[in-house]
């Protein structure tokens, strides 16, 4: 069941409620009993993390999959080599 966030237009009280999608929204505020409660639009409170979650899981087979667990999408690429130090020309005396 999803958790919905509500706010009272009268007193500004905010509260969450675990309810079915088919359940009616509350009409009265639990703090002031006014009938000015509205559902708020809020972001979900979870994040898909860890190995196995891919950005392109539901895309076409030909698209490159990028692991969202933090490897930057280059699981088989070796790190770049450090540049060679500069050498001074011979005969500087």
The fold of the 3-40 domain, in CATH, is Rubrerythrin, domain 2 (2.20.28)
pLDDT at 26: 95
- 23: which 2 tokens? 């359940």
CB 29 within 8 A of CB 48: no
CA distance 67 to 44: 21
CA distance 42 to 55: 22
What pTM was estimated for this model as a whole? 0.48
| pLDDT tens sequence across 18-69 | 999 899 999 999 999 999 999 999 877 776 666 666 665 565 666 666 665 5
| Closest to 14 (Cα-Cα) out of 22, 24, 4, 23 | 4
Band (73; pLDDT cuts 50, 70, 90): very low
- 81: which 2 tokens? 């080599």
Statement: residue 4 has pLDDT above 80: yes
Please state, as a whole number, how many other Cβ atoms lie within 10 Å of the Cβ of residue 29. 21
pLDDT at 33: 94
Residue ranges of the domains in the chain? 3-40
């Amino acid at each position: 069941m999803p958790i919905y966030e509500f706010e009272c237009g009268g007193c500004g009280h905010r509260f969450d409620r675990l309810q079915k999608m088919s359940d009616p929204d509350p009409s009265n505020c639990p703090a002031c009993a006014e009938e000015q409660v509205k559902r708020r639009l809020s972001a979900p409170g979870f994040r898909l993390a860890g190995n196995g979650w891919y950005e392109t899981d539901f895309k076409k087979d030909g698209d490159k999959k990028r692991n969202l667990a933090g490897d930057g999408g280059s699981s088989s690429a070796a790190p770049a080599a450090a540049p060679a130090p500069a050498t001074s020309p011979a005969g500087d005396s």
